Structure 1
Amino acid sequence: MRNDRLVLKNKLKVARAEKSINQNNLAKLVGVSRQTISNIETYEYVPSAKLALLICIALDKKFEELFYFE
């Protein structure tokens, strides 16, 4: 499998639901727009390492619990 074919997937929507946090509130917590959170959830945007870490902290999850390659 070629590395350029890997897509970073996530379980962000499920993790938000578990914490009862909507996209807007998560966006405010990590300093981005609601649209950015939406784009991450729909795989239209790959977050930077910093943003991914901030999301993990905000949702109290480890990186590997939220993000994975497929």
Structure 2
Amino acid sequence: MVRQYEVVRQRIKDLLLITDDNTPVDSKEIVELEMLSDLAEEYELEHYPVGTPSLPMSSNCECTK
């Protein structure tokens, strides 16, 4: 599964190099990019969840106004 994830990540990187804001949303590259991005996101949420920072960790941040 990790190998498949790495292949998907590389393909996403490749697609990002050949698409831009002017690429039609219905182009095969954008459709593939969206599909692979969704798959990668699902995998990351399951295997690499990002939790809410703990209070001690968040209290180390300086807030400026």
* Fold conserved between structures, TM > 0.5: no
TM-score by length of 2: 0.30
TM-score by length of 1: 0.29
The structure whose residues are more often strand, as a share, is 1
Larger Rg: 2
- By relative contact order (CA 8 Å, sep 6+), the higher-ranking structure is 1
